[in-house]
Amino acid sequence: DGGITQSPKYLFRKEGQNVTLSCEQNLNHDAMYWYRQDPGQGLRLIYYSQIVNDFQKGDIAEGYSVSREKKESFPLTVTSAQKNPTAFYLCASSLIGPGQGDQPQHFGDGTRLSIL
Protein backbone atom coordinates (compact mmCIF):
# COMPACT_ATOMS: atom_id res chain seq x y z
CA ASP A 1 0.00 0.00 0.00
CA GLY A 2 1.16 3.52 -0.73
CA GLY A 3 1.44 5.89 2.14
CA ILE A 4 3.48 7.81 4.67
CA THR A 5 5.11 5.92 7.52
CA GLN A 6 6.26 7.64 10.67
CA SER A 7 8.25 5.90 13.36
CA PRO A 8 8.36 5.40 16.21
CA LYS A 9 4.76 5.98 17.33
CA TYR A 10 5.97 7.05 20.80
CA LEU A 11 9.36 8.46 21.75
CA PHE A 12 10.86 9.58 25.01
CA ARG A 13 13.73 12.00 25.31
CA LYS A 14 16.07 12.61 28.19
CA GLU A 15 17.33 16.08 28.98
CA GLY A 16 20.20 17.12 26.72
CA GLN A 17 19.56 14.34 24.24
CA ASN A 18 18.97 14.59 20.51
CA VAL A 19 16.33 12.32 19.02
CA THR A 20 15.44 11.59 15.41
CA LEU A 21 11.95 10.98 14.07
CA SER A 22 11.62 8.97 10.89
CA CYS A 23 9.33 9.75 7.96
CA GLU A 24 9.21 7.63 4.81
CA GLN A 25 6.81 7.89 1.86
CA ASN A 26 6.31 5.63 -1.15
CA LEU A 27 3.89 7.94 -2.96
CA ASN A 28 6.63 9.39 -5.17
CA HIS A 29 5.77 12.82 -3.80
CA ASP A 30 8.18 15.66 -4.41
CA ALA A 31 7.58 17.69 -1.28
CA MET A 32 7.74 16.65 2.37
CA TYR A 33 6.87 18.59 5.52
CA TRP A 34 7.20 18.41 9.29
CA TYR A 35 4.58 19.90 11.60
CA ARG A 36 4.29 20.21 15.33
CA GLN A 37 0.87 19.92 16.99
CA ASP A 38 0.19 21.03 20.55
CA PRO A 39 -3.12 20.45 22.37
CA GLY A 40 -5.83 22.84 21.23
CA GLN A 41 -3.64 24.36 18.54
CA GLY A 42 -3.36 24.06 14.82
CA LEU A 43 -0.41 22.55 13.03
CA ARG A 44 2.73 24.65 12.90
CA LEU A 45 5.30 24.14 10.17
CA ILE A 46 8.83 23.23 11.29
CA TYR A 47 10.62 22.49 7.99
CA TYR A 48 9.74 21.55 4.45
CA SER A 49 11.56 20.24 1.41
CA GLN A 50 10.54 20.36 -2.23
CA ILE A 51 13.54 18.57 -3.69
CA VAL A 52 16.33 16.26 -2.60
CA ASN A 53 19.20 17.99 -0.79
CA ASP A 54 17.21 21.19 -0.29
CA PHE A 55 14.91 22.31 2.54
CA GLN A 56 13.50 25.49 4.02
CA LYS A 57 12.68 26.62 7.53
CA GLY A 58 9.07 26.93 8.55
CA ASP A 59 7.63 29.09 11.30
CA ILE A 60 9.20 27.23 14.26
CA ALA A 61 12.49 25.74 13.02
CA GLU A 62 14.61 26.68 16.04
CA GLY A 63 15.86 23.60 17.90
CA TYR A 64 15.13 21.26 14.97
CA SER A 65 17.14 19.98 12.02
CA VAL A 66 16.29 17.93 8.92
CA SER A 67 17.91 16.25 5.96
CA ARG A 68 16.61 15.15 2.56
CA GLU A 69 19.17 12.76 1.11
CA LYS A 70 16.53 10.65 -0.62
CA LYS A 71 13.20 11.60 -2.18
CA GLU A 72 11.27 9.17 -0.03
CA SER A 73 12.83 10.07 3.33
CA PHE A 74 12.74 13.25 5.46
CA PRO A 75 13.98 12.61 9.04
CA LEU A 76 13.53 15.25 11.73
CA THR A 77 16.03 15.65 14.58
CA VAL A 78 14.82 17.31 17.76
CA THR A 79 17.96 18.73 19.30
CA SER A 80 18.74 19.54 22.92
CA ALA A 81 18.33 23.20 21.96
CA GLN A 82 14.56 22.64 21.71
CA LYS A 83 13.54 23.37 25.29
CA ASN A 84 9.91 22.38 24.99
CA PRO A 85 9.86 19.36 22.68
CA THR A 86 6.83 17.55 24.11
CA ALA A 87 4.29 17.48 21.27
CA PHE A 88 2.73 15.40 18.53
CA TYR A 89 4.86 15.53 15.37
CA LEU A 90 3.28 15.03 11.96
CA CYS A 91 5.00 14.40 8.67
CA ALA A 92 3.25 15.13 5.37
CA SER A 93 4.01 14.89 1.68
CA SER A 94 2.54 16.21 -1.54
CA LEU A 95 3.06 16.41 -5.25
CA ILE A 96 4.03 19.79 -6.62
CA GLY A 97 1.51 20.71 -9.26
CA PRO A 98 1.88 23.04 -12.21
CA GLY A 99 0.41 25.82 -10.09
CA GLN A 100 3.24 25.65 -7.56
CA GLY A 101 2.06 23.59 -4.66
CA ASP A 102 -1.54 23.09 -5.71
CA GLN A 103 -1.53 19.52 -4.55
CA PRO A 104 -2.93 18.78 -1.07
CA GLN A 105 -0.78 17.34 1.66
CA HIS A 106 -1.23 13.81 2.96
CA PHE A 107 -0.19 12.97 6.50
CA GLY A 108 1.42 10.13 8.41
CA ASP A 109 0.02 8.90 11.72
CA GLY A 110 2.38 10.96 13.84
CA THR A 111 5.00 10.49 16.55
CA ARG A 112 4.30 11.54 20.11
CA LEU A 113 7.43 12.83 21.81
CA SER A 114 7.65 13.18 25.57
CA ILE A 115 10.35 14.28 28.00
CA LEU A 116 11.55 11.85 30.66
Chain residues in the site for other proteins (CB under 8 A): 4, 6, 31, 35, 40-45, 48, 50, 58-59, 90, 92, 96, 99-102, 104-110, 112
Contact, 79 vs 18, CB < 8 A?
A: yes
Q: How far is the CB of 16 from other proteins (least distance, A)?
A: 28
Our CB check for other proteins shows the closer of 59 and 62 to be: 59
CA atoms within 13 A on the CB side of 74: 34
Q: How far is the CB of 108 from other proteins (least distance, A)?
A: 5
